[in-house]
Chain A
């Protein structure tokens, strides 16, 4: 549980997609405090992305309640311009698939899209876009078409497109997915301080980055919370990791030439075997 005042509070939240009778999320109760850095862990299909969509106000719970800074996060609350503009300014979501997030003709337009929709003055937009592109070292891509960029560059442009709003909460959906090792390590470097954004919720199933990017872990299994604790506590709980399909076994060839299979937890600079 957070010690700081809660930004998000979820009370017995369930969510069903239209086409499915199976709940993507089931009775999730969770409080996310201000300045918390949370890693939401779970295997594919565990409900991580759905949770982020609910927190981003892009989908609304089928049952239960979600509140943002004490105000209910419902479809109706987004009909109020003041709430909608305030929320979109304060909460930013980075999608897993940058192809979906990058829909403008140039990188500059892409980054300027958010501030323009929030009706910022033009001079401020131009100044802020330049500053963000510069801080992420993608100034040189300014006039390029986003769809012509590499995977790592696309991710950085996607980051710029939300950081430009200077949000208070950053929601990241598998930010290191499909990146080459160098881009992945750049992304982890970014996630360590999230460009100054203090509250960050990162969905991932890559355990080796968790200790670097979070001070709290929430583990999801089949849409339910299966674990909640510090990264050290969660990573030490081998049974939990195995149950939630986060700990995998694969075969290794040792220097002696012997090949055998064991549970395997990759960490930053090496890996820990759990035979």
Chain B
């Protein structure tokens, strides 16, 4: 067997499982903390962030978009969300993916040439740079607001808040169950790979690694199909007849109303400043 193709495949997969579970644990811990956003009604957080994201997307001025980004960062601080977490989990990812989309605009947008790329000689225009930066800033701001809501709200409350926004109950239930069972399957997958590791001697070549990955995926799929059948039976046994009914139990207090008004006012100001000629 080849030395280079060692257990790292299984180790990496296990580390991946552990990473996802740890991230979910961190998010749950953060949503349980006392903080500015955590103390608000989930519906207010959801509606407020949607309003601000909409205003951000409409804004044509970079400094206005940047201001909303700074407000999000300040709220993250007040809600005890580590900036390092936002930087590694959100900002870097968005920078990479949106950067790939925005980069061509730097060279292809017509306008005042301010620099030329060495060797290739492509011109960088002032308008192109502004467009790319603005696109990046909009994406970063929107992703930061979404992440803040997710990190400062328990998944259960978030789903119930979606119901308050008239998202169809079936969609909300599917989301809830996906979240519930994805962890069970992650746990099963983790145990499956650990069991394999405990019985592995020597190293795996690429072909064997592919085989391990394919068979594990197959077994997990089979288990998930079996489990879905059982879950459906359990739902039927308690009266499920194709339509789900849920309880919404939020209570708005004066502080929530104040926050909602504040979010709405901020979004209006952003729209006014961002769209002004």
Contact residues of A with B, CB < 8 Å?
53, 56-58, 81, 84-85, 88-89, 92-93, 95, 97, 99-101, 103-106, 109, 112-114, 116-119, 122, 125-126, 145-147, 161-162, 165
Return the 10 tightest CB-CB contacts between A and B, nearest first.
Answer: A100-B230, A117-B239, A114-B238, A105-B156, A88-B239, A116-B245, A101-B234, A93-B237, A118-B239, A58-B233
Q: Which residues of B lie under 8 Å from residue A104 when comparing CB positions?
A: 176, 180
Partner of B240, one of A93, A112, A117: A117
- State whether A85 touches B159 (Cβ < 8 A): no
- State whether B183 touches A85 (Cβ < 8 A): no
Q: Does B241 contact A (CB under 8 A)?
A: yes
A217 to chain B, nearest CB (A): 24
Given known A-B contacts A103-B180, A122-B247, A85 and B239 have beta carbons under 8 A apart: yes
Q: Which residues of B lie under 8 Å from residue A100 when comparing CB positions?
A: 227, 230-231, 233-234
B111 to chain A, nearest CB (A): 51
Q: Does B219 contact A (CB under 8 A)?
A: no
Q: Does B246 contact A (CB under 8 A)?
A: yes
Partner of A105, one of B155, B234, B240: B155
- Main DSSP-derived SS at the B contact region: helix
Q: Which residues of B lie under 8 Å from residue A117 when comparing CB positions?
A: 238-241, 244-245
A138 to chain B, nearest CB (A): 17
Give the one of A84, A97, A99 with max B CB within 10 A. A99
Q: Does B184 contact A (CB under 8 A)?
A: yes
B170 to chain A, nearest CB (A): 14
Partner of B159, one of A89, A105, A118, A165: A105
Q: Would you give 30 A-B contacts (Cβ < 8 Å), ordered by A?
A: A57-B237, A84-B239, A88-B237, A93-B237, A95-B230, A95-B233, A95-B237, A99-B184, A100-B227, A100-B231, A100-B234, A101-B234, A103-B180, A103-B231, A104-B180, A105-B156, A105-B159, A105-B176, A105-B179, A106-B156, A113-B235, A114-B238, A114-B239, A116-B247, A117-B245, A145-B156, A147-B183, A147-B184, A162-B237, A162-B238
Q: Does B177 contact A (CB under 8 A)?
A: yes
Q: Which residues of A lie under 8 Å from residue B249 when comparing CB positions?
A: 126
Give the one of A56, A122, A145 with max B CB within 10 A. A145
A56 to B234, CA, bound (A): 10
Q: Which residues of A lie under 8 Å from residue B183 when comparing CB positions?
A: 147
Nearest-neighbor residue (CB-CB) of B226 within chain A: A100
A114 to B234, CA, bound (A): 10
In chain B between 118 and 151, which residues have their CB closer than 8 angstroms to a CB of chain A?
none
B238 to chain A, nearest CB (A): 4
In chain B between 139 and 196, which residues have their CB closer than 8 angstroms to a CB of chain A?
155-156, 159, 176-177, 179-181, 183-184
Q: Which residues of B lie under 8 Å from residue A161 when comparing CB positions?
A: 238
Q: Does B236 contact A (CB under 8 A)?
A: yes
A205 to B50, CA, bound (A): 55
A84 to B176, CA, bound (A): 26
A70 to B247, CA, bound (A): 35
- State whether B233 touches A53 (Cβ < 8 A): yes
A268 to B238, CA, bound (A): 33
A100 to B246, CA, bound (A): 19
Give the one of B176, B179, B239 with max A CB within 10 A. B239
B187 to chain A, nearest CB (A): 9
Q: Which residues of B lie under 8 Å from residue A84 when comparing CB positions?
A: 239, 241
Given A105-B155, A162-B237, 18 additional A-B pairs, CB 8 A: A56-B237, A88-B238, A89-B239, A95-B230, A95-B234, A97-B230, A100-B227, A100-B231, A101-B234, A103-B181, A103-B235, A105-B176, A112-B247, A114-B239, A117-B241, A117-B244, A118-B239, A145-B156
Q: Which residues of B lie under 8 Å from residue A92 when comparing CB positions?
A: 237-238
A161 to B238, CA, bound (A): 9
A230 to B176, CA, bound (A): 46
Give the one of B181, B233, B237 with max A CB within 10 A. B237
A97 to B234, CA, bound (A): 10
